[in-house]
Amino acid sequence: MLGFILGTMTGGVMGVFAMCLFIAGKREDEALERCRMKRKEIIDHGVCICFVNSQGEELFRLADGESLVQNAPNGERNVSTCHYLDADSAMIDGKKWNLLEFAKEMEKRGIMLAPMELCRVPERG
User: Does residue 125 carry a pLDDT above 50?
Assistant: no
| Dihedral sign computed on CA atoms, order 46, 44, 93, 70 | negative
Mean local confidence (pLDDT), 17-30: 83
Mean pLDDT computed over every residue of the chain: 83
Mean local confidence (pLDDT), 93-113: 94
User: Does residue 81 carry a pLDDT above 90?
Assistant: yes
User: Does residue 121 carry a pLDDT above 70?
Assistant: no
Element (H, E) at 74: none
What pLDDT is attached to residue 42? 56
Residue 74's Cβ-count burial label (10 Å; 0-12, 13-18, 19+) is exposed
